[in-house]
Amino acid sequence: MANSELKKEIAGALQNNVLRGALERFSHLYVIAREKAYQGYDFEALRNKVQEIKSYSASHIDEMIDLFEKNATARGAKVFRAANGKEANDYIKKLAQEKNVKKIVKSKSMASEEIHLNEALRADGVEVQETDLGEFIIAIEGKHPSHMVFPAIHLTKEQVADLFTSYTNKKNDPIISKLVKTARSVMRKKFIEADMGISGANIAVAETGTLFMFTNEGNADLTATIPKTHVYVVGIEKLIPKFKDASYILKTLPRNGTAQNITTYVSLYTGATEAYLENGMKGTKDFHIVILDNGRRNILKDEKFRQMFNCVRCGGCINVCPAFQLVGGHVYGGKAYTGGIGTLLTAFLDSEETAGKVQNLCLQCGKCTEVCVGKLQIPEMILELRNRHGQKTGLPFTQKFALDVVSNRRLFHTMLRVASVAQKPFTRGKQVIRHLPMFLSGLTEGRSLPAVAEKPFRDIFPTIEQDVKNPKGTVAIYAGCLLDFVYPRIGEGVVAALNEVGYKVVFPENQSCCGAPATYMGDRENAVKSAILNIQGLEAEKVDYVVSACPTCTHALKEYKELLHDNPEMLKRAEELANKLYDFSKLVTILGGLENKGDGIPLKVTYHDSCHLRRKMGVYQEQRDLLSNTSGIELIEMNESDRCCGFAGSYSIKFPEISVPILERKLRNIADTGAEVVAVDCPGCLMQISGGLDQKDSSKIKVKHTAELLLDKRKKK
Amino acid sequence: MERINQLYDKFKGKFEGVNGECFRVAKSEEIGDLLINILGAKGSKTISLYESPISQSARLREKLTEAGFIVHTDDLFTNTCTDHVGITEVNWGIAELGTMVQIAPEVDKRLCSTLVPIHVALLKTDSILPEMDDVLEKLDSLPQIPGFVGFVTGPSRSSDIERILEIGVHGPEQVILIVTDQ
């Protein structure tokens, strides 16, 4: 899939109001319903167990498969190990031929979608019927699922009625209860006539040979009960060691996937059971289990990705993904798997090329990691995918050029200084740019860009009077590009607060871009260059602490250890830097916090959590305490305070069409609080949110960094 | 008894929360009359019955036949395709979830529980256990895991069209549980 095609897919999805409406409504309901479903259960403890069990299986995979095969075979199952999709398809095709199978019913199996089993069987003239309601609908439509749990979420009841009308040759009214009855009666006949059933499983227990299925509609049980031949297609990642271990997945998968305490049906099949054979005679059914590899062992072999085996396929990650909520599953290009986890699965099990493109849709906000049952670090894996893709294919020229400039301190800083003059025609005397001409216009659609400051922080710093008697120590300030060149006042706030807790601040002149843009665009070479420049420039060895007021920079600086793991001398210095480095609010709190003072003038403030600060650094209470401890400030929490603002660095430039709607939801949440000021701890969020507010001329809400707001409210009058 | 009552009440609350219907009788002899009323009100006429200790002690086949229902106890594949009601016994209830658990390696039992529009389940009150783990423990302690075990929590459902919840898709549209103390 070329980038232009991806863009076209995104545009199409965004124009589909049904899909957007359904996904947005679900995203609100899901969070509340999920929380309710987990009431009285310790989610962290449960997911620790899931992680433990699944990673045990992953590291003992051969033993697990052998055990499962032995135990399932002892109970009358025929187990076939398929190395790839073709072997699996050939086995099932041969079986269908031998048994003279004409009609097959299927209940949801993502593994069989992955290997295109339906197509393979139909090529032999066998009728294959998907029986799950959503799957049935999209099969008539001729599309792939738009969601892992709700495959037909992109369609209205009217569209479904039209599809059913054409399928049954009978007028179907757009009444959901009636449409469901149509599906029931159509499918009933299919179940009764089918001579083979094909299913997927959610869990495979090695010690007993038991398969677990989680379903709601009842089609899976009919598929497994009626036909005299039954085939399961089960990926090797479904194996768990012990029967009772299933408990943890039973308690989490339904709660995470659909916010149900348990699915209507949880069905356990162990070996071949009784079925109706020919002429109404009962006997033992022909029961087959295809254990599918198809690229899964490559996941296991890859240190960075083997945690994917801990995934239980609940879909919780996509339920909270801001990008997925806007575009839905079709955009992800994979046949079976969608969203962030889908991108990773597609890379290993389907198409590396498709995954290479759609991985760009990840905002790196990390929201998925909070709900993931298997504790997968999906954003980190996507970043790794991005890096590998970047190394393999290279970045487009303009991006590469931009990153080369950013990692060259002198050139970059000179350009920024030139920009502060060159931007004048666009700023119209304001501190923002509302419209850019021509191909850059996408950047200023739906939000304004900040203008580059006339005087960067590095020039202002020497003029700041630091009145600290008997300083307790020294802190080096790492400014980062936005603070240095766009928002120097944040820097003044940082200095003032650290002075207040008794520390002197120094500005190491040779600091440069943190390298995050390169890292997030998959350009490791330039990221390493930035790391070395800053380790040498900051000289952490000479100070007690290093402070940054941009969580993305803080995270990037802390990660230098990873980038420089093969450079022992630099690694040592990187570790020292990481140990001394804190984000603004965290450091001020560690150093004793600020005493209660302030101008006392009432000000309603709401707080937006930056993804990096909250989820990478776990800092969310400190800044709230600092703000609440300032007299005059009334802190009002907004809905979804830790939902991404849509900035995500270069993401907002690459995908303004996704970034802007995400921003709009944030702006609505902000407006609902009635606050006069939104406090943030990240200059990127500040730029995004203030840019969005600026385009709404009616909005009087200001956005301020915590450091800047503290400076405003606490400075001596 | 206090504990059994508590577990029953909790089970009933959860079971009704997922659109199940739940009744309790003191003696199995009362099941027949209760069912005649319930099924009569629903206008059901034909029944596939999978005989079990409770159904036999309740003399369901005789009572329902006497009351004018057509009751099938054999040729169940053919009959469950068209009968209105299926009756089976289930092994346990799970109070924390409102879930019924049935061991059913026999195909006829499964057909009577799944292919019919109305499933009537029979259960002994003292077989309602507090938690899902209690059932997993019981299953795990059996000489072997039975060929089929079904956890059923209410009638079949789907939200596949416009995310609107609809009850009654491919599995039963109504699930009625009758719990008997003796």
CA nearest neighbour of A447 among A706, A608, A677, A685: A685
What ipTM does this complex have?
0.98
At A506, which amino acid appears? V
Residue A201 and residue A335 share a domain: no
Q: Are A574 and A561 spatial neighbours (Cβ–Cβ below 8 Å)?
A: yes
Any CB–CB contact under 8 A between B172 and chain A? yes
A150 domain-assigned: no
Any CB–CB contact under 8 A between B170 and chain A? yes
Please name the residue that has the structure tokens 């057909």: B111
* pLDDT (0 to 100) of residue A698: 65
The residue out of A344, A360, A393 marking a domain boundary is A393
How far is Cα A422 from Cα A436, in angstroms, rounded to an integer?
13
* pLDDT (0 to 100) of residue A395: 64
Residue A221 and residue A247 share a domain: yes
Residues listed for chain B = 182
Residues of chain A neighbouring B158 (CB-CB closer than 8 A): 133-134, 180, 216-217
Residue A688 and residue A623 share a domain: yes
Is B77–A280 a contact, with Cβ atoms under 8 angstroms apart?
A: yes
Residue A351 and residue A204 share a domain: no
Q: Are A36 and A258 spatial neighbours (Cβ–Cβ below 8 Å)?
A: no
Is A180–B169 a contact, with Cβ atoms under 8 angstroms apart?
A: yes
Is it the case that residue B70 has pLDDT exceeding 90?
Answer: yes
Exposed, middle or buried: residue A353 (CB in 10 Å: 0-12, 13-18, 19+)? middle
Any CB–CB contact under 8 A between B154 and chain A? yes
Tell me the CATH number at A688.
1.20.1050.140
Residue A55 and residue A8 share a domain: no
Residues of chain B neighbouring A222 (CB-CB closer than 8 A): 114-115, 170-171
* pLDDT (0 to 100) of residue A1: 46
Phi then psi for residue A128, to 5 deg, are: -120, 125
Rounded to an integer, the average pLDDT of B158-164 is 89
Residue of A143, A216, A222, A282 to mutate for B, most B C-beta atoms under 10 A: A216
Query: Chain B residue closest to A219 (CA)?
Result: B170
Query: Chain A residue closest to B20 (CA)?
Result: A264
Residue A644 and residue A566 share a domain: yes
* pLDDT (0 to 100) of residue A55: 96
Q: Which residues of chain A have pLDDT under 50?
A: 1, 437-439, 717
Residue A50 and residue A30 share a domain: no
Is B153–A264 a contact, with Cβ atoms under 8 angstroms apart?
A: yes
Query: Chain A residue closest to B171 (CA)?
Result: A218
| Stretch 97-126 of chain B: residues touching chain A, C-beta under 8 Å | 97, 99, 105-108, 110-111, 114-115
Residues of chain A neighbouring B139 (CB-CB closer than 8 A): 243, 268
A449 domain-assigned: no
Residue A523 and residue A609 share a domain: yes
**Closest partner residue to B156 among A176, A217, A274, by Cβ?**
A217
SS (H, E, C) A116-137: CHHHHHHHCCCEEEECCHHHHH
Residue A554 and residue A489 share a domain: yes
CA nearest neighbour of A533 among A430, A407, A645, A622: A407
* pLDDT (0 to 100) of residue A73: 98
* pLDDT (0 to 100) of residue A717: 46
A645 domain-assigned: yes
A27 compared with B91, residue with greater pLDDT: B91
Residue A691 and residue A602 share a domain: yes
Number of Cβ pairs < 8 A linking chain A and chain B: 166
A57 domain-assigned: yes
* pLDDT (0 to 100) of residue A137: 95
The residue out of A340, A358, A393 marking a domain boundary is A393
Any CB–CB contact under 8 A between B56 and chain A? no
**Residue A153 per-residue DSSP state:** T
* pLDDT (0 to 100) of residue A402: 63
- Structural domain including A660 reads 457-714
**Closest partner residue to A267 among B150, B157, B163, by Cβ?**
B150
Is A188–B162 a contact, with Cβ atoms under 8 angstroms apart?
A: no
Q: Are A221 and A188 spatial neighbours (Cβ–Cβ below 8 Å)?
A: no
Q: How far is B114 from chain A (nearest CA, A)?
A: 7
Q: E strands, A100-228, where? A: 103-106, 127-130, 196-200, 203-205, 210-215
Any CB–CB contact under 8 A between B151 and chain A? yes
Q: B28 is written with which tokens?
A: 């199995």
Tell me the CATH number at A287.
3.40.50.10420
Helix (H) or strand (E) holding B176: strand B174-180
Residue A275 and residue A384 share a domain: no
Residues of chain B neighbouring A157 (CB-CB closer than 8 A): 161-162
CA nearest neighbour of A318 among A310, A302, A329: A329
Which residue segments constitute the domains of chain B, with CATH numbers given?
A: 2-180 (3.40.50.10420)
Q: Which residues pair with A528 in a beta bridge?
A: none
Q: Are B155 and B175 spatial neighbours (Cβ–Cβ below 8 Å)?
A: yes
A90 domain-assigned: yes
Q: Which residues contact A79 (CB under 8 A, 6 or more apart)?
A: A68, A69, A72, A73, A288, A289, A291
A603 domain-assigned: yes
**Closest partner residue to B110 among A22, A225, A263, by Cβ?**
A225
Residue of B101, B111, B145, B170 to mutate for A, most A C-beta atoms under 10 A: B170
Compute how many other C-beta atoms are within 10 angstroms of the C-beta atom of residue A282: 14
**Closest partner residue to B152 among A188, A265, A273, by Cβ?**
A265
CA pseudo-torsion sign B55, B58, B61, B65: negative
Q: How many domains does chain A have?
A: 3
Residues of chain A neighbouring B133 (CB-CB closer than 8 A): 244, 247
Residue A466 and residue A372 share a domain: no
How far is Cα A11 from Cα A446, in angstroms, rounded to an integer?
16
The residue out of A393, A415, A436 marking a domain boundary is A393
**Closest partner residue to A217 among B105, B136, B169, by Cβ?**
B169
Q: How far is A296 from chain B (nearest CA, A)?
A: 28
How far is Cα A562 from Cα A400, in angstroms, rounded to an integer?
22
Is B171–A265 a contact, with Cβ atoms under 8 angstroms apart?
A: yes
* pLDDT (0 to 100) of residue A390: 75
Is B170–A217 a contact, with Cβ atoms under 8 angstroms apart?
A: yes
* pLDDT (0 to 100) of residue A224: 94
Is B161–A180 a contact, with Cβ atoms under 8 angstroms apart?
A: yes
A431 domain-assigned: no
What 3-state DSSP class applies to B89?
A: strand
CA torsion, ordered A168, A170, A173, A177, to nearest 10 deg: -50
* pLDDT (0 to 100) of residue A689: 93
How far is Cα B121 from Cα B115, in angstroms, rounded to an integer?
14
B31 compared with A562, residue with greater pLDDT: B31
Q: Are A298 and A348 spatial neighbours (Cβ–Cβ below 8 Å)?
A: yes
Residues of chain B neighbouring A217 (CB-CB closer than 8 A): 156-158, 169-171
Residues of chain B neighbouring A187 (CB-CB closer than 8 A): 170
A156 domain-assigned: no
Is B170–A184 a contact, with Cβ atoms under 8 angstroms apart?
A: yes
Helix (H) or strand (E) holding A530: helix A524-538
Residues of chain B neighbouring A225 (CB-CB closer than 8 A): 107, 110-111, 114-115
Residue A494 to residues A503, A592, A599, A709, B145, Cα–Cα distance (Å): 11, 15, 18, 10, 64
